């Protein structure tokens, strides 16, 4: 048995052809999707990068494993403390360690552990290839390592190969020689001139006027990546830059598939194609960032191809990415790891019988502090620290009618908000009751000064807002965040 896992950083599903995108961004991914299960409502439990991958690899929510942010106390996996044995639990209960226990030799091609000093990400891998640029790799720097591995090992049995591509992550880095296959394609029609004008007036990191987080600076090395969006030409540069990153990555994925075909192992190869998180492309007025607990950031692609075992279809149930471990355990006919929080959806993909969750709770504490509840047609977002975006404490979006989160309907539907808060409280009670710790790391982040990517930036950002004609927001920002000026 052979297993290829493609982790495509910052890839949102609705920019892939197999999810209905109007641009031809992903022909190689689309081919695999047609041969497997495509999940419509698949979400990371904890965003962005480090929290998401830690939840996947540990099989536990961030509130349990401790990683909900990118710095401070919440930027490290919790120590097991007095209960720690000669080896910690990750040595035997991480996702790669589980795969080893069922007979796979596990190989990783990724710089991720170095990028975030997330050394626990290595747990359970037999073989590790760090591509060396801490997440600034372009596909042509990743693919040769993978191709060499395929040439040497593909015909062996019982391997698991995890490959990490970065091209859809900012700054957009597809080589200039790649050109722009989308220069004549229409832009997403929901971002009208009126909507764009609203976005230009918005404040907060990665808004239209400060794509570079807190200003509009650009870098000569990344000509596809804009510093701000002033007009539709700037919007095109933003969207095309992202889509070119996906298409360029997809072409390199095609090279892997071709090599696997040449090694005659493609016909029975298990393939998972997924991401750590999505990317806001205008949702909540944010561009080119994965900094909220919303649909743009937390919904991720998930494609599972398993020849001879799973028939092609679309799964519409609600699932967390950390549900993958228990699902694989059931498919392999073994028990899941004791520490895992996930829930198997094997029956859904084998019998096409609904096995989704009633609701999901999604967390983000690196750029803002938010928890959201995804249920029915609804997305409810509760904000504890707004990351200088001036978000309301609670927001509610009907994703069926408003998939790009333009219209907050929380005031029109207070009963739906109360239902969401009930789900949030039920989840939180269950989480706190099922761990030995008495601290929710979301509150640790707040007590330590706020989300890592916001902490300490407000004074300088206020000066930027005043320089760019948006000083109207300054007093409210100061009122909400007095500690920044203490």
Tell me the pLDDT tens digit for each residue of 393-450.
Answer: 999 999 999 999 999 999 999 999 999 999 999 999 999 999 999 999 999 999 999 9
Tell me whether residue 318 is exposed, middle or buried, using C-beta atoms within 10 angstroms of its C-beta: 0 to 12, 13 to 18, 19 or more. Answer: buried
d(CA 434, CA 337): 15
Q: Residue 354: its pLDDT value, please?
A: 74
**Residue 220 has what pLDDT?**
95
Percent of the chain clearing pLDDT 90 (strictly above): 98
d(CA 1, CA 26): 26
Q: Which domains does the chain have, with CATH numbers?
A: 2-357 (3.40.720.10), 362-455 (3.30.1120.10), 456-486 (no CATH)
- Span 334-343, pLDDT tens digits: 999 999 999 9
Contact 36, 272 (CB under 8 A): no
- Pairwise CA distance, residues 262 & 245, whole Å: 26
- Global pTM? 0.97
Give the integer Cα–Cα distance in Å for 28 and 6.
12
What are the percentages of helix, strand and coil residues in the chain, rounded to 5? 40, 15, 45
Token duo for residue 96? 């790669």
Cα-based torsion angle of the residue sequence 70, 71, 73, 79 in order, rounded to the nearest 10 degrees? 60
Using 50, 70 and 90 to split pLDDT, how confident is the model at 485?
confident
Cα-Cα end-to-end distance for the chain: 59
- For residues 120 and 302, what is the distance between their CA atoms, to the nearest angstrom? 23
Task: Evaluate if residue 353 carries a pLDDT over 80.
Answer: no
The CA distance from 82 to 29, in Å, is 46
Tell me which of 352 and 394 has the higher pLDDT: 394
**CA-CA distance, 168 to 253, in Å (whole number)?**
13
pLDDT digits (tens, 9 = 90+) for 243-262: 999 999 999 999 999 999 99
pLDDT at residue 272, rounded to an integer: 98
**What are the Cα distances from residue 135, in Å, to 142, 219, 333?**
10, 17, 36
Phi, psi for residue 2 in degrees, rounded to 5: -130, 145
pLDDT digits (tens, 9 = 90+) for 106-152: 999 999 999 999 999 999 999 999 999 999 999 999 999 999 999 99
Per-residue pLDDT of 293-336, as tens digits, reads 999 999 999 999 999 999 999 999 999 999 999 999 999 999 99
pLDDT number for residue 351: 85
What pLDDT shows up at residue 484?
Answer: 86
Mean pLDDT of the chain: 97
Answer yes or no: are the C-beta atoms of 163 and 186 closer than 8 Å: no
Predicted pLDDT of residue 355 = 77
Are the C-beta atoms of 163 and 7 separated by less than 8 Å? yes
Judged on CB neighbours under 10 Å (0-12, 13-18, 19+), 216 is middle
Strands (E), 256-366: 270-274, 280-281, 287-289, 302-305, 313-320, 360-364
Please give the structure tokens belonging to residue 303.
């494609």
Q: What is the rounded CA–CA span in Å between residue 22 and residue 247?
A: 13
| Separation CA 136–CA 257 (nearest Å) | 23
251/119 Cα distance (integer angstroms) = 30
pLDDT given for residue 352 in this prediction:
79
Beta strands in 365-444 (DSSP E): 369-375, 378-385, 394-398
State the burial class of residue 8 (Cβ atoms within 10 Å of its Cβ: 0-12, 13-18, 19+). Answer: buried
The conformation of residue 90, written as its DSSP 8-state character, comes to: H
């Amino acid at each position: 048995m052979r297993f290829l896992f493609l982790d495509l950083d910052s890839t949102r599903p609705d920019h892939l052809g197999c999810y209905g995108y109007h641009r031809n961004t992903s022909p190689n991914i689309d081919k695999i999707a047609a041969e497997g299960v495509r999940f419509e409502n698949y979400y990371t439990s904890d965003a962005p990068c480090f929290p998401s991958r830690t939840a996947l690899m540990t099989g536990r929510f961030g509130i349990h494993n401790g990683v909900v942010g990118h710095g401070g106390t919440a930027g490290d996996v919790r120590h097991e403390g007095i209960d720690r044995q000669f080896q910690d639990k990750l040595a035997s209960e991480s996702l790669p360690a589980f795969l080893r226990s069922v007979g796979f030799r596990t190989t990783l091609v990724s710089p991720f552990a170095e990028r975030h000093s997330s050394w626990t990400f290595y747990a359970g891998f037999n073989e590790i290839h760090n591509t060396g640029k801490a997440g600034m790799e372009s596909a042509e720097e990743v693919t040769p390592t993978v191709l060499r591995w395929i040439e040497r090992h593909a015909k062996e049995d019982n391997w698991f190969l995890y490959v990490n591509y970065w091209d859809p992550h900012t700054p957009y880095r597809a080589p200039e020689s790649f050109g722009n296959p989308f220069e004549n394609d229409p832009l997403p029609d929901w971002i009208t001139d009126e909507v764009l004008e609203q976005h230009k007036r918005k404040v907060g990191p990665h808004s239209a006027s400060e794509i570079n987080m807190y200003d509009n600076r650009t870098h000569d090395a990344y000509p596809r990546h804009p510093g701000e969006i002033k007009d539709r030409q700037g919007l095109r540069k933003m969207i095309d830059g992202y889509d070119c990153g996906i298409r360029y990555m997809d072409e390199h994925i095609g090279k892997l598939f071709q090599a696997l075909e040449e090694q005659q192992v493609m016909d029975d190869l298990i393939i998972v194609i997924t991401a750590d998180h999505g990317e806001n492309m205008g949702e909540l007025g944010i561009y080119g960032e994965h900094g909220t607990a919303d649909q743009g950031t937390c919904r991720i692609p998930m494609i599972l191809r398993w020849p001879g075992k799973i028939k092609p279809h679309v799964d519409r149930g609600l699932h967390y990415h950390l549900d993958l471990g228990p699902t694989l355990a059931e498919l392999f006919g073994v028990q899941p790891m004791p520490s895992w929080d996930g829930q198997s959806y094997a029956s859904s993909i084998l019998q096409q019988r609904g096995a989704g969750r009633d609701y999901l709770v999604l967390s983000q504490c690196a750029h803002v502090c938010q928890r959201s509840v995804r249920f029915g047609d609804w997305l409810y977002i509760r904000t504890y620290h707004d990351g200088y975006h001036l978000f309301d404490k609670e927001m509610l979006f009907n994703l069926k009618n408003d998939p790009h989160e333009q219209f907050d309907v929380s005031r029109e539907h207070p009963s739906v908000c109360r239902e969401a808060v009930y789900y949030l409280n039920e989840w939180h009670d269950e989480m706190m009751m099922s761990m030995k710790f008495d601290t929710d790391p979301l509150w640790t982040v707040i007590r330590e000064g706020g989300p890592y990517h916001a902490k300490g930036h407000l004074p300088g950002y206020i000066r930027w807002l005043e320089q760019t004609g948006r000083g109207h927001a300054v007093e409210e920002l100061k009122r909400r965040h007095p500690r920044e000026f203490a």
